[in-house]
Amino acid sequence: DAKTTQPNSMESNEEEPVHLPCNHSTISGTDYIHWYRQLPSQGPEYVIHGLTSNVNNRMASLAIAEDRKSSTLILHRATLRDAAVYYCILRRETSYDKVIFGPGTSLSVIP
C-alpha cells in the first residue's frame, strides 16, 4: 500500500481556518484519500474522503492536488473540539486489504 506523510503537529487559533497537509507521492490511480480524526480518549472517526475532485461535507473540506500527490484537509473554523490527531490514509475502491495509518498530525487549538 502507498504510504502517506503528515506533519507531526500543528497549532491553530480558535475560529480560524486550519489546513492540514498530507503527502502521498506514490498514490495509484485507484487509491481514495481518506481522513480520520481521533479525539482524546476515543476511537478514530471518519471525516471525509475523495478521489480526484475537491469534496465538502458538514465536518470539513478536502482539497486534492491536480497530480493527486498531496491533499489538504480544511477545517473552516477551528473550535476547541477539533483538537485531535488527524490521519490521512489511502484506500483502494476494489480492495479492502491492509490499512496503514501513520502517526498522524496532532492539532492543538488555542483559545
Partner 1 sequence: EAQVTQNPRYLITVTGKKLTVTCSQNMNHEYMSWYRQDPGLGLRQIYYSMNVEVTDKGDVPEGYKVSRKEKRNFPLILESPSPNQTSLYFCASAVLSGPYEQYFGPGTRLTVT
> Which span (16-24, 66-74, 76-84, 87-95) binds partner 1, by CB under 8 A?
87-95
* Per CB under 8 A, 86 contacts partner 1: no
Q: Cα torsion at 23, 75, 59, 30 (round to 10°)?
A: -20
Return the number of the residue (12 or 105) whose C-beta is nearest partner 1: 105
Residue 67: exposure state from Cβ atoms within 10 A (0-12, 13-18, ≥19):
exposed
Return the number of the residue (27 or 104) whose C-beta is nearest partner 1: 104
Residues binding partner 1: number (CB under 8 A): 21
* Per CB under 8 A, 53 contacts partner 1: no
* Per CB under 8 A, 21 contacts partner 1: no
Counting Cα atoms < 13 Å in the Cβ hemisphere of 77 gives 2
Under 8 Å between Cβ of 50 and 88:
no
Residue with C-alpha cell 486534492? 64
Which residues bind to partner 1, rule: CB under 8 A?
A: 32, 34, 36, 42-46, 49, 87, 91, 93, 96-104
